[in-house]
Structure 1
Amino acid sequence: MLLTDNPIQGADGDRYGFRAHADVLCAAIVATEDLPLTVGVFGPWGTGKSSFMKVCQDLLRKRSVPTVWFNPWKYDQKDEIWHALIQSVLTEIAQDLEERRLKGDLALRERMAGALERIRRLSQAAAWLLARRAAGPLTAGVVTADDVAAAQTALTEPGTETYLHVNRFEEDFKEVVATYTDGGRLVLFIDDLDRCTPDAAITVLDSLKLFLGEGACAFVLAMDYQVVAEAAARRFHSENPDEARGRQYLEKLIHFPYHLPGVSFESIVRHLQHKITDTRLAGSQELWELVEVAFEANPRRVRRFVNGLNLTAMSLRLNPDDPPSRRLLLHAGTLLALRMKHPGFFTALQSDPGVWTRFDDSEYFKTDLSGQDRALAAASPGVRRLLAAVSFRRSGFEFPDPPSPTEIRLLTQVLTVTGGPPNGAAATSSSAADGTPGEGPDHAA
């Protein structure tokens, strides 16, 4: 059984207690009179931001509040990303207005037709501002490639009404939103800003003010605060980033900072316990103690651990004459956690299996590590705590004694295939060139 990283899609799928908190935030958004409003949903990678916002979106829709969802990380270039943001919003509004126009009476059809024409002009203006980029594929059906070419020609003619329209973008967008929401509000969810390159992330934030800042909108932005603040700092001082300046930028932009409520480890256990295929481990207090010490209450990392453990257990059962013991599976779990959290230590174990025992002895006999072991401990902060947590000497648990060299060789060979890349490698391979995290879409995130 493999678990995905996909976010939950609505309030009914909430497994981590987000709904009560989302109810409060949604009620505040609906009650806010002074719009536009920008809400920052802050939380580290993998803690549930996307799922929390999906719960919010579902609750708002049940209140008949229109919403739009935008994922900026799909677009690499700065000019593409602001254009895609605008076109995504306009397209969703246009599709809904067209449905209303077809179903309404004459007066409603006329009002909707006027709004649709204004949307079309806005889309043309955005395409023109894209300035000869490949705008056609980004317009998502609101305006065709031929329209873009025609608009670029018309909009550059001095004195034309359409050229002046660019300067009225904010006001026209405000009127479109008013028509679309019947005087209410539009909530725009923007996910995974911290997966974007720094320039792209800041471009999205700038675009909200530059183009959409007059409409009756609430912008709900999911991000790791520290990552985006550092991106803003680099924007202002590329050579010597000023973190305080980056924080000030976010403080001016974000009207209400909402720090995602922590997921309880107990709720993670309840949700994932039955996902572990080996029944000897599913209810093992030793396994869940290992998981909590290694990954705390980070739903995404725990799910990835469960995936790796299930695959490892299946691989170890390939020899039906020698099924894996509970002892071996617990050691497989510890080695998997080490591979994910401390890849340097995992590599050292492959060449020197005795290092596990030496670390265990030093921790419980209160002796100092020496030589290469000391350097290894310094390079892998937290590894001694993890090994101490799963030590056979620990009272109250039944952890096995350290694995033999033969067991370590077997398990490290299997985990090289089933354990996936270490956390550090995953982040490096999928992140932006500047080092911002980008490890895939949130599950519970």
Structure 2
Amino acid sequence: MASNGVAAAALVVVPDHETAVDLLYFEAIAQTVVNLIDATPNKPLTVGIHGDWGAGKSSVLRMAEARLKKREGVLCLHFDGWRFQGFDDAKTALLETIVEELRDSETFGAKTKKAAKGLLKRVRWMKLAKRGGQLAWNYASGLPSPDQVTEILGKLSGILNAPGEAVDGEALKKVVEEAKEYLAEPEAAESAVTHIRAFQKEFETLLKEAGIKKLVVLIDDLDRCLPKTAIETLEAIRLFLFTPQTAFIIATDEAMIEYAVRQHFPDLPAAAGPTSYARNYLEKLIQVPFRIPALGMEEAKVYVTLLLAQAILGEEARGFVTLVEKARAVIKTPWISNALTLEDIIAAGPDKRTELTAAYRLAQQLGPTVAEGLEGNPRQIKRFLNAVALRKAVADARGLSSEVEISVLGRVMLIERFKPDFFTQVAKQAMTVAGGIVVELKLLESDEATPPRPGGPSAGSPQADGSRTLPEAVADWAGDAWLRNWARLDPDKLLSTVDLRPYVFATRDRKSAFGRASSNALLDRILSSVGSGALGATQVDGDIRALDETGANLLFNTLKDQILAVDQLSASPPHFAGLCALVRHHPRFQGRLLDFLGELPADELGSWAAAGWSPQAFQDGPKTRARDMLRSWSTRGSRQLQITAKATLRSLDGPERR
């Protein structure tokens, strides 16, 4: 690799998930939350950690959790709302998760475990009461419904009457165990209100008997859920779990929750006085809100520097730990000009002086512009750096390591990201002029440069110094302050003197994930939105419906590729909701969806694969195929997949087939 670049392979591994390594001094927020919980030992408390997607909410949760676990008598539980997106009832999913954690904990004795089992029975009653029908019959009478008796007898008959086969003891045992599920002990008839009150009282008693001074539940990823799931989770907190010994720390984008409130309660008036009803609803549920601030210019430079240094040195290196401590002094008082120096960076790893020097220069060049363009969002900054590093690595692999410098590549990608029309013009010019030298950029680099005047030389015509003016379509950009600052990021290496053709080649995937065949802004917008999950798919539902055949086909293939790129299939891939919406509005993809799902490894799939795509609305041929696939999944694959497949199959078959 060229000596003027940062090690691209190292940069690619900049982590894009919550971290325990605090590069932004978020531990101040985490510690404040912990102090607040300590100060309210006998009062229920809900704390909101608010911020945009990627702002660092999950990292703050992890930091607070690490501190709380050291407190005597404090029990911390983690609940990820997104993982329960495919479940019918988010309320009972939250209740079940918390009570099961109490039941299964080795810390508590038999009395506590017995009380937890009693609470689980109440949760089960709530689930059955909501689902109604034959399940409610089971729980009220303690007997199976006639349909279930028929089903069990049919299975026994199939085993006993199988021609030429010995009776399978394991198969018999499985059917008997299944039959036991229907023979629950009959419960006294109680109303829903009675069950809720009893649950609240028994839950509070359980915490006291277990010796829990404070139960802290950390809830994450609600803003990725559909409105119904998000609202039901919040309501469960207030309705069932809000007792003096509990505290809830909820990490979410409040704007997305307000959207969920408006979608879930569409008949609410827009506002009540100066505040919207959606905002009032959120404030009623969350007592103490913390808003994670966006990064400023100095903070962004420090953050980019630390990310690059971390990738080069490793987060556990003694020099890097010392560098983080120095960086905190800058972050604490960013209004004071005491930024990290090149000497500070090199001192963290003297044996990697070249790479660290390049990292420092890159951070100084890109940090402020990236922070402004990405609104100080840490995750977006990390993704931008990873994109730069990945393209550099690809260029190196193609034998272009000396032609593509990472600092120049980063600057080119800035205009690709933030000024795409200008980037297009520069790219076209670079590929059509001799040597790939876009001398028109001098207009932005020079203090004396001015846009072409009306009546002056025609756009693109030679000037006295041999340069050309910018094309008419972009001539006014010469007065754009952002572009002028961009052009002067590195006075020692002006882009008007660089052959930009290798950089255009390195960024030729700029037509987003749809590839070079697409320049459709609508498709780009859809893909960007559905990448945030079910709620994002809901926001572009109308756009998906409006796609023509070519666009729909391109979107299907792209979403499928995005899902296949996910490492873990136990949780719902964010793009799956978009794929389901596409199939719902364009039924011709029903068969292709089934082909795709059938190719996935059943033992690795979570419940999401058998839910959300509404096979009830499929045409006859695909519906039959869907039924066959669900039946197969109901007996193989992961436990979550089997349970959901059975539920979806019952819904698909309807009462007439049971």
Band the TM-score falls in, shorter-chain normalisation: 0.7 to 0.9
Correspondence for 1:303 among 374, 382, 385: 382
CA contact (8 A) 2:14 2:386 kept: yes
The answer as to 2:14 corresponding to 1:3 is: yes
CA change 1:366–1:404 in 2 (3 A) is same
| TM-superposed deviation, 1:272 | 1.0
Partner of 2:495: 401
In structure 2, stretches of 5+ residues that fail to align are 1-9, 136-176, 313-353, 433-437, 453-469, 516-522, 541-571, 575-658
SS state at 1:6 partner:
coil
CA change 1:342–1:82 in 2 (3 A) is farther
CA change 1:148–1:40 in 2 (3 A) is farther
Paired letter, 2:125: A
CA contact (8 A) 1:38 1:254 kept: yes
Distance 1:131 1:227 in 2: 28
Correspondence for 1:331 among 390, 408, 413: 408
Partner of 1:218: 247
Q: Output one character per residue of 1:151-203: Cα deviation in whole Å (capped at 9) or x when no partner.
A: 5x845xx63699954552222222222233x1511111111221112222122
Partner of 1:294: 373
SS state at 2:78 partner:
strand
Distance 1:198 1:370 in 2: 48
CA contact (8 A) 1:38 1:219 kept: yes
Distance 1:439 1:331 in 2: 34
Partner of 1:121: 121
| TM-superposed deviation, 1:336 | 2.9
Partner of 2:557: none
The answer as to 2:95 corresponding to 1:86 is: yes
Partner of 1:387: 483
Matches within 5 A, 1:200-211: 200-211=229-240
| TM-superposed deviation, 1:213 | 2.5
Q: Output one character per residue of 1:81-114: Cα deviation in whole Å (capped at 9) or x when no partner.
A: 2222111111111111x5432xxxxxxx4x3244
SS state at 2:538 partner:
coil
SS state at 1:204 partner:
helix
The answer as to 2:358 corresponding to 1:281 is: yes
| TM-superposed deviation, 1:42 | 1.0
Matches within 5 A, 1:131-280: 131=131, 149-150=182-183, 154=186, 159=189, 165=195, 167-180=197-210, 182-214=211-243, 216-237=245-266, 244-262=276-294, 264-274=299-309, 279=355
The answer as to 2:104 corresponding to 1:95 is: yes
Partner of 1:434: 538
Paired letter, 2:530: T
Paired letter, 1:318: A
Paired letter, 1:281: A
Distance 1:384 1:39 in 2: 43
Distance 1:91 1:425 in 2: 38
CA change 1:404–1:423 in 2 (3 A) is farther
Partner of 1:138: none
In structure 1, stretches of 5+ residues that fail to align are 102-108, 136-143, 378-382, 441-445
Partner of 1:15: 23
CA change 1:224–1:196 in 2 (3 A) is same
SS state at 1:38 partner:
strand
TM-score, scaled to structure 2: 0.53
Distance 1:348 1:439 in 2: 36
| TM-superposed deviation, 1:53 | 0.8
CA contact (8 A) 2:261 2:278 kept: yes
Distance 1:371 1:202 in 2: 52
SS state at 1:413 partner:
coil
Select between 58-67 and 255-264 the one with higher mean Cα deviation: 255-264
Partner of 2:650: none
CA contact (8 A) 1:230 1:241 kept: no
CA change 1:162–1:344 in 2 (3 A) is same
CA contact (8 A) 2:79 2:94 kept: yes
CA contact (8 A) 1:313 1:324 kept: no
SS state at 1:218 partner:
strand
CA contact (8 A) 1:72 1:191 kept: yes
Select between 397-406 and 81-90 the one with higher mean Cα deviation: 397-406
CA contact (8 A) 2:262 2:268 kept: no
SS state at 1:188 partner:
strand
CA change 1:252–1:239 in 2 (3 A) is closer
SS state at 1:323 partner:
coil
Distance 1:385 1:408 in 2: 24
Distance 2:300 2:485 in 1: 17
CA change 1:371–1:215 in 2 (3 A) is farther
| TM-superposed deviation, 1:258 | 1.3
CA change 1:115–1:286 in 2 (3 A) is same
Select between 66-75 and 355-364 the one with higher mean Cα deviation: 355-364
Paired letter, 1:272: L
Paired letter, 1:406: R
TM-score, scaled to structure 1: 0.75
CA contact (8 A) 2:416 2:423 kept: yes
CA change 1:291–1:147 in 2 (3 A) is farther
CA contact (8 A) 1:286 1:399 kept: no
Paired letter, 1:92: E
CA change 1:262–1:296 in 2 (3 A) is closer
Partner of 1:413: 508
Give the root-mean-square deviation of aligned CA atoms. Answer: 4.2
Pair member with larger Rg: 2
CA change 1:439–1:55 in 2 (3 A) is farther
